[in-house]
Chains A and B, each alone.
Chain A
Amino acid sequence: AQSVTQPDIHITVSEGASLELRCNYSYGATPYLFWYVQSPGQGLQLLLKYFSGDTLVQGIKGFEAEFKRSQSSFNLRKPSVHWSDAAEYFCAVGAIALTGGGNKLTFGTGTQLKVEL
C-alpha cells in the first residue's frame, strides 16, 4: 500500500526567505504526486502535480516541486515566502487502489507553515 511521510509538523520562516517542505512517499510503481494547500477552516487547493516527464514541476503562487525517484521524495519549494503563504500543506500520492479500479489519494499528515514578518 502507498504511504506519504511529511517529517516536519511545523515550520517557521521569515517573510522573504526561501522555503522547502519535505515529502517522502512509498509506492511500488511510478507515483502520481500532488501538493495541496489549506488555509484555516477551508478546503484544499491544488498547488501542483507530477504525473510524468520533467521532474521539476511548477505550480500556482510561485511554488515548485522536484520529483526525485532515487530518494522517493517530492519536496515543495518557494524562493521567497510571502506572509499570505501561511497555511497547512499536504503532500499526496495517487494510486490505482480503489474497488472497481478507481484511484485513491493517500495524504501525508501535513506541515503547518508559519511566516514571521
Chain B
Amino acid sequence: DGGITQSPKYLFRKEGQNVTLSCEQNLNHDAMYWYRQDPGQGLRLIYYSQIVNDFQKGDIAEGYSVSREKKESFPLTVTSAQKNPTAFYLCASSRGYSSYEQYFGPGTRLTVT
C-alpha cells in the first residue's frame, strides 16, 4: 500500500535539545510539506520541497530546518531556537508543485518540557 509514514507517533524532549521528525512516502510524489497544528489554529506551513535537493520556507519556518536528499524522505528538525515546539506535526506530499491535492501522514505529537 502506498502512503506516508511518520515516526515516531509520540516524541518527548527536554528543552534545549534538537529533535528530528521522520517523514517517508512511497507514492512517488515530487512535492513534500511540513505543517504544524495547534488547537484552534488549523494547519500552518513550516517548510516545503518541490523537488529533491531543494526546499523553501513556509509561513512559520523560524526554529526549524529540513533536508531533501531523497525523493522519498523529508525529515524535519525542531531546533532549540523554536520558542514553542510542543505541537502536532503533519507531513504531506503531492504529485508535483502544480498539484493541489495533498496526502497526509498520521502525524507526530512532540512534547517539549
Query: A: which residues have CB within 8 A of B?
Result: 4, 9, 32, 34, 36, 41-46, 49, 51, 90, 94, 98-105, 107-110
Least distance between A41 CB and chain B CB atoms (Å): 7
Using C-beta atoms within 8 Å of the partner chain, give the interface range for chain B.
20 to 34
A109 and B41 in contact, given A98-B56, A102-B48, A102-B50 (Cβ under 8 angstroms): yes
Q: Decide: B107 and A100 in contact? CB cutoff 8 A.
A: no
CA distance A34 to B4 in the complex (A): 19
Q: Which of B12-67 contact A (CB under 8 A)?
A: 31, 40-43, 45, 48, 50, 54, 56
Q: Which of B91-108 contact A (CB under 8 A)?
A: 92, 94, 97-107
Q: Decide: A103 and B98 in contact? CB cutoff 8 A.
A: yes
Q: Which residue of B lies closest to A9 (CB)?
A: B40
User: Which residue of B40, B48, B88, B92 is within 8 Å of A109 (Cβ)?
Assistant: B40
Least distance between A46 CB and chain B CB atoms (Å): 7
Give the interface centre of B4, B43, B92, B104 by most chain A CB atoms within 10 Å: B43
